[in-house]
Amino acid sequence: MGIIFLQTIAQFIIFVEHFSDGKQFLKTYNMANNELRINDHYQTIIGEFPKVGIRPAIDGRMNGVRESLEDQTMKMAKIAASLISSNLKYPNGKSVECIISDTCIGGVAEAAMSAEKFRKNGVGVSLTVTPCWCYGSETIDMDTDMPKAIWGFNGTERPGAVYLAAALAGHTMKGLPAFGIYGHNVQDSGDQIIPDDVSEKMLRFVKAALAASYMKGKSYLSMGSVSMGIAGSIVKEDFFQEYLGMRNEYIDLSEFNRRINEEIFDKEEYKKALEWTKKNCKEGKDLNTKPKTRKQKDAEWETVVKMAIIARDLMVGNPKLKKLGFGEEALGHNAILSGFQGQRQWTDHMPNGDFLEAILCSSFDWNGIRPPYLVATENDAMNGVPMLFGYLLTNTAQMFSDIRTYWSPDAIKRVTKIKPTGLASNGVIHLINSGASALDFSGRQTKKGKSCIKPFWEITGKDAAECLAATQWPAADRGYFRGGGFSSQFDTKGIMPATISRVNLVKGLGPVLQLAEGFTVELPEKMNKILTDRTNPTWPTTWFAPRLTGKGAFADVYSVMANWGANHCSSSYGHIGADLITLASVLRIPVCMHNVDENKIFRPSAWSAFGMEKEGADYRACQTYGPVYK
């Protein structure tokens, strides 16, 4: 036995050379400090991020009135821009950019000048601000597609709130819904502090509006077709085109075979990826009755690594392919979201897509730490959509799962002989997938000692290393996957705030969004093992406890499960239900199920004209206005 001292800038590490735990620790140390770093050269989709256009509206009467308000009005625009840019980031980690109109807007000519500037500068979100009365229909933003809001300053000297009400009435009458932002408390005219309630609404609107604007014009790529008759994998182009402004692209899974057989991939990257995978992706136990040989498994590892590279290239392209003589393949499909059919036509004779889906959906790979590439298991596009929503609202990896089993407290105690306590005391929902969950959801990233999931630019090498160390890759269950492959397996650690969501299509109604906020739960080790072994010990497990309200779909945990509209859900880190509801209203998608506090719900002001009960009003407003892009 020997002692090795490893010195870094920050610390000494003592390593016991001959103990297996020590070897694993050294491996983690090396990965954290020498290998996984931020990759600034990741391939991504085409298109700039939309900017936020800020329109300072003013009373147009010159020779006294307008001049007295110019400074105050423009300052409102500047502090709004500062708030937005200092609090919100694009998916690449850079601060959200704001474009302010060159002049205050006192009438239609200046409104047109502002619109032209916004058009030239890639503005995708409109925010009007004013401390005073302005000429309503002459100054409002008339763009038919762009999400819009108005902040009317709550002061007594000038009637900013009066303009807000008049302008919103104009928006409602013209069928151009806008969000109204108005502070709870009266402020002094010179006050340049944005109150917390105004700030919360403004940031919620901008976050949702940016998400809606950014997805427009991008693609959903179906890799394969319908999987096992799953309704969500029957891709509905009308929904993507009319509600999201997206296009649909398709490839047959034979394209994977073609690219593998004809070596249409970057061979240097493949060599690097395979070496990294062998080093960092621990192969788990093979529970199949007749395990494959080492030679067969090595060949399958080679195939699944190629599949991951090919899927990414299909989504976003790869300029290196052009240098190899594959100019068309180098372009990709500009897919912000994709789905992989897998079962069964592919997985009955080829290694499964679990490695592909898990690695691409994670925030790191052999090239370093980078944004996730969103891939929906089984090509369930309607579960991929909330993955996209959650990603654009949080900038973090999303988890695709079966919403598999409700375990009641009595059932848990009967099976494990242990009574569940804490967050699990009312029962839990088993979120599990066929080995394709983002490794970020292992819960090994930490902030102040607590489990979390970070945007990629905050993830450290140690965070990524811990996620990899916590994940095993057992041989795929060949009862499900005859062609073999490997499934990711981890147990989510710690208590993390989480939101599960799903979009369902209802004939005669259209799309509806459902969501549930709650927490991940770390069950006692013995209890966890007994329960997961009953389902599938080769798949990743996350236990979810929804926040209950005592009524309706949230009367108890069983009711949450019973009211879920499909077999899959998307999980996002954090309680983002209010943001999802705002985004849904921008896209005219009603919300059928949620447990968000009513005072956090923020929708366009026109929704209040459709009745006092918020849920019914949401349905009626969405039906009346219809899809944004129809």
Span(s) in the chain for CATH 3.40.50.1070: 51-215
Which architecture, in CATH terms, is 51-215?
3-Layer(aba) Sandwich (3.40)
How open is the CA angle 519-524-528, to the nearest 5 degrees?
85
Helix (H) or strand (E) holding 413: helix 409-416
- Is residue 393 classed exposed, middle or buried when 0-12, 13-18 and 19+ CB atoms within 10 A define those classes? buried
Task: Give strand pairing partners of 475.
Answer: 486
pLDDT of residue 160: 82
**3-class SS letters over 332-372:** CCCEEEEEECCCCCCCCCCCCCHHHHHHHHCCEECCEECCC
Span(s) in the chain for CATH 3.20.14.10: 219-625
* C-alpha to C-alpha distance for 334 and 330, rounded to whole angstroms: 11
Active site (catalytic) residues: 378, 402
* C-alpha to C-alpha distance for 411 and 185, rounded to whole angstroms: 51
Helix or strand or coil: residue 544? strand
Are 372 and 438 in contact by the 8 Å Cβ rule? The answer is: yes
pLDDT of residue 237: 97
pLDDT of residue 508: 96
Place of tokens 């140390």: 29
- Entry pTM: 0.93
Which residues of the chain carry a pLDDT beneath 70? 1-35, 435
Are 487 and 435 in contact by the 8 Å Cβ rule? The answer is: yes
Instruction: Give 156's contacts (C-beta < 8 A, 6+ positions apart).
Output: 186
Please give the structure tokens belonging to residue 558.
């069983």
Which architecture, in CATH terms, is 219-625?
Alpha-Beta Barrel (3.20)
* C-alpha to C-alpha distance for 206 and 52, rounded to whole angstroms: 8
pLDDT of residue 284: 95
